[in-house]
A and B are shown apart, each in its own frame.
Chain A
Amino acid sequence: MEKLMAALKAQIVEQLNLQEVKPEDIGDDQPLFKDGLGLDSIDALEIIVLLQQHYGIRIANPEQGPEIFRSVRTIAEFITAHQTPK
């Protein structure tokens, strides 16, 4: 889980071009949207694509989005629960 969260932080920083944020600056449980990291709805779409590209995961129910994207930990838990074993 720790390795996955570290990888996710690096991917989020790169994909969203967070110029003044380092992956290690993002807390595992830090809220990603609004008052947390300050991401917005366009970033949410970018993260959806990121999950498809890097982990082969599609979010079937968009209503789950706010829950899944709450923090890096919740995204990592979602990936762990839904990734098809290789």
Chain B
Amino acid sequence: MYIYIQGTGCVSPQETAAGNTFPAAVLPWEGPRLKAWEPDYKQWIDVKLIRRMSRVIKMGVAAAKLSLQEAGVEIPDAIITGTAYGCLDDTGVFLSKMINQQEEMLTPTAFIQSTHNTVAGQIALMLGCHAYNNTFVHKGFSFESALLDSIMILREGRSSSILAGAMDELTNHSFNILSRFDLYKKEPVTHEQLLKSTTHGTVAGEGAACFVLGTEKGPNTKAKLTGLTTLYKPAGKAEISPDITSFLAAHNCSQEEVSLVITGRNGDAAGDEWYEYVEDTLFAGKPVAGFKHLCGEYPTAASFGMWMGNRILAEQEVPAAALLKGTVPDHIKKVLIYNHYKQTHHSLILLTVC
């Protein structure tokens, strides 16, 4: 059974939500933090609902609506999301009020909207979708877990179209806290410099990407989700190569058949060594693209990578801003996305052109 990508939607620090295509130009940024470029949400969400929604909810709902529009699906058979941080902004509002008001006279809105499954719930409420609704909160595997659940449900034949996606927001509070973990670069860096950087740390990002997955081709289907796997804390770089080879073999794909490798390179010297090792040992001479200079680093950033991989297969072109090395073949057949989050959560996604 094939699993087709029937529609996609993405809200990111690039203008990906305008026209739902890869933007012609990269929105430049400088510094340790990328903020999502937000579209006019009123085109998808009633103003009476928008007033209660924090940014991550609006981003998630917009990405969901875009993907459903592209797929031509009104109500999916399931809604499955992944998020590492959940609705951080509303959590902060609610907890701050709890402290400031000595746990008295707390208003309901921020509390209701602060749970991790709020985005999936809001999408369901807006669509009137009473089907399976689940949210995975598994750090750097949140998106991959949502995809895995979707794949399993589709393979069981219980659904024919599933809305799957991931979303994470960055707030001032979370950025300050994450900065204390020494995750981000101390020196100024731009989108052109980030992936060439040889110093410690990366840049913070955020965004939402949704996919309508189905067992049949949709009117706008351009790619299949051929395979997905996750690797938790591999012992070392040498361990990842056989894992990738086995993953490809399990999906009847040789290294030679991979047209393009998309890596989660993020400018952090230690983390990027993993990608360099894989590029050199398994895919020497293959074209390599990157995406975290476009969306920043966050636990569900692989969803942006998958969105970009699908767009590349759809348009049969790698945007100049994303191509890091190599020559792209005339016909792009298979795209392998290799990503890791903080060197602990590694994932592989294989897409095939239709």
Residue of A with least CB distance to B46: A38
List of B residues within 8 angstroms of A42 by Cβ: 52, 108-109, 112
Q: How many A residues have CB within 8 A of the partner chain?
A: 13
User: Given B48, B50, B52, B107, which contacts A45 in the complex, CB threshold below 8 Å?
Assistant: B107
B106 within 8 A of A: yes
Q: How would residues 1 to 39 of chain A score, 1 for a CB under 8 Å from any chain B CB and 0 otherwise?
A: 000000000000001111110000000000000000010
**Cβ–Cβ contact B105 & A38, under 8 A:** no
Query: For window 35-61 of chain A, which residues contact chain B by CB distance below 8 Å?
Result: 38, 42, 45-46, 49, 52-53
B99 CB → nearest A CB, Å: 16
Residue of A with least CB distance to B104: A52
List of A residues within 8 angstroms of B50 by Cβ: 19
User: Given B51, B105, B108, B109, which contacts A53 in the complex, CB threshold below 8 Å?
Assistant: B105
List of B residues within 8 angstroms of A45 by Cβ: 107-108
User: Given A20, A46, A52, which contacts B108 in the complex, CB threshold below 8 Å?
Assistant: A46
Task: Report the Cα distance A38→B108, complex, angstroms.
Answer: 18
Task: Report the Cα distance A30→B333, complex, angstroms.
Answer: 62
B47 within 8 A of A: yes
Task: Report the Cα distance A20→B107, complex, angstroms.
Answer: 21
**Cβ–Cβ contact A49 & B51, under 8 A:** no
Task: Report the Cα distance A49→B109, complex, angstroms.
Answer: 11
Q: How would residues 26 to 65 of chain B score, 1 for a CB under 8 Å from any chain A CB and 0 otherwise?
A: 0000000000000000000001101110000000000000
The binding surface of chain B is classed by DSSP as: helix
Query: For window 67-105 of chain B, which residues contact chain A by CB distance below 8 Å?
Result: 105
**Cβ–Cβ contact A19 & B108, under 8 A:** no
**Cβ–Cβ contact B105 & A49, under 8 A:** yes
**Cβ–Cβ contact A16 & B51, under 8 A:** yes
**Cβ–Cβ contact A46 & B51, under 8 A:** no
List of A residues within 8 angstroms of B112 by Cβ: 42
Task: Report the Cα distance A51→B12, complex, angstroms.
Answer: 40
**Cβ–Cβ contact A49 & B107, under 8 A:** yes
Query: For window 65-86 of chain A, which residues contact chain B by CB distance below 8 Å?
Result: none
Task: Report the Cα distance A53→B112, complex, angstroms.
Answer: 20
A32 CB → nearest B CB, Å: 13
Residue of A with least CB distance to B47: A20
**Cβ–Cβ contact A49 & B106, under 8 A:** yes
**Cβ–Cβ contact A19 & B47, under 8 A:** yes
List of B residues within 8 angstroms of A15 by Cβ: 107
Task: Report the Cα distance A18→B107, complex, angstroms.
Answer: 16
B176 CB → nearest A CB, Å: 25
Whether A52 contacts B105 in the complex (CB less than 8 A), given A17-B52, A42-B112, comes out as: yes
List of B residues within 8 angstroms of A18 by Cβ: 51
B232 CB → nearest A CB, Å: 40
Task: Report the Cα distance A46→B107, complex, angstroms.
Answer: 6
A16 CB → nearest B CB, Å: 7
List of A residues within 8 angstroms of B105 by Cβ: 49, 52-53
Whether A17 contacts B51 in the complex (CB less than 8 A), given A46-B108, A49-B105, A49-B106, comes out as: yes
Task: Report the Cα distance A18→B109, complex, angstroms.
Answer: 13
A23 CB → nearest B CB, Å: 15
Task: Report the Cα distance A17→B52, complex, angstroms.
Answer: 7
B336 CB → nearest A CB, Å: 44
- Some 23 contacts from A to B, beta carbons below 8 A apart, are A15-B107, A16-B51, A17-B51, A17-B52, A18-B51, A19-B47, A19-B50, A19-B51, A20-B47, A38-B48, A42-B108, A42-B109, A42-B112, A45-B107, A45-B108, A46-B107, A46-B108, A46-B109, A49-B105, A49-B106, A49-B107, A52-B105, A53-B105
Q: A19-B51, A38-B48, A46-B107 are in contact. List 7 more A-B contacts (CB 8 A).
A: A15-B107, A19-B50, A20-B47, A42-B52, A46-B109, A49-B106, A49-B107
